[in-house]
Amino acid sequence: MFDAEMFIENSLEEIRKTVGESRVISACSGGVDSTVATYLVHKAVGEKLVAVFIDDGLRREGEPEFVMRVLKSIGVKARLIDAKEGFFAVFKGKTDAEEKRKAFREQFYSTLGRAAEEEKITCIVQGTIKADVIETVKGIKSQHNVLSQIGINPEKYGYKILEPLRELFKPDVRKVGRQLGLPPEISERMPFPGPALSLRVLGEVTPEKIAIVRKATQIVEEETRQLGTFQNFAVLHNDRATGIKDDKRLYGNIITVRIVESEAAVTAKAAQVPYETLMKIAARITQEIPTVVRCLYDITDKPPSTIEFE
Ligand code: XMP
């Protein structure tokens, strides 16, 4: 049985030892993993930690404001970095999922690297958890926060890496979050991938497509909050389908809704959501997003699918 209190005690000691006299930077996305890792390091080294929220333009509606507010409320000093333009620039012309991950990862680390340089910091916190390491090692997909496994030498970026959660699976990360006293809106938060909505726009990522999937995501989340499922989201397809809008034919966008039950994301079941909920989601998505003419529900488990489409 995992003992969160004991884990925290040991981690604080280890973090202090690793950090020594250095200062530390943590890119906090507001997800469970990176926020728990950030707060744990904050508890261990206090003012030596500088938290940053990198606004890559790929987050959910209202996310930058939400994350900055939460960090402030728990006493972590944080800076928002507006990096939207740079991220959209590197996605230009990229359609392959792993190429997009690589582009995200490189842009992420060069943005973080610049911030670290400005602050004269050489130690960075990563919210890597055990599932990230397993999937990357297996070659299923390269998680953006598993550097060593994908042949990136952190020294190339001039960092020491601190990964306090790398031995934990998600349920234990949540226990640590609760034990640390993080608000439930963080400790119980739905998992969300590091490269964010870029993985949920199939094909090339553009600001226009992100805006569509962001709105669809907001609708899915609003309509499924009560389900208690593991992950609920929307995906924008790269192809189009025929539909009717304002009595006219429209060759428009397709959105797939994916809602899964899972323990630690290693396997997952497509959730048996009440049909009325799905109908309401389809109605709202096609009414509130002018270009969407079709809404589908994914009924595949993991395996053979993965949770994300990319
Ligand atoms: P898959 O799609 O592999 O997802 O079944 C398993 C869990 O990992 C998340 N995921 C990612 N997280 N970077 C991340 O930080 C990524 O590149 C990435 N790809 C998938 C996914 O949302 C699910 O919770």
Provide the pLDDT confidence category of residue 4 given band limits of 50, 70 and 90: very high
How far apart, in whole angstroms, are the C-alpha atoms of residue 268 and residue 170?
A: 14
57 lines ligand 1 (CB under 6 A): no
Question: pLDDT at residue 140 above 70?
Answer: no
How far apart, in whole angstroms, are the C-alpha atoms of residue 198 and residue 215?
A: 14
Q: 122 C-alpha vs ligand 1 centroid, how far in Å? A: 27
- Give the pLDDT score at 138: 72
Omega before 193 within 30 of 0, i.e. cis:
no
Alpha carbon of 176 to those of 8, 54, 117: distances in Å?
Answer: 7, 24, 31
Provide the pLDDT confidence category of residue 113 given band limits of 50, 70 and 90: confident
What does pTM read for this prediction? 0.91
Provide the pLDDT confidence category of residue 147 given band limits of 50, 70 and 90: low
Q: Which of 224, 288, 284 is nearest to 258 (CA)?
A: 224
Give me the helix-helix angle, 32-45 and 4-19, nearest 10°: 60
- Give the pLDDT score at 143: 60
Can you list the alpha helix ranges (DSSP code H) found in 20-76? 32-45, 63-73
Contact criterion met (CB below 8 Å) for 145 and 129? no
Provide the pLDDT confidence category of residue 150 given band limits of 50, 70 and 90: very low
Question: pLDDT at residue 202 above 60?
Answer: yes
The share of the chain scoring above pLDDT 70, in percent, equals 94
Provide the pLDDT confidence category of residue 149 given band limits of 50, 70 and 90: very low
- Give the pLDDT score at 133: 79
Instruction: Tell me phi and psi for residue 12, to 5 degrees.
Output: -60, -40
144 lines ligand 1 (CB under 6 A): yes
101 lines ligand 1 (CB under 6 A): yes
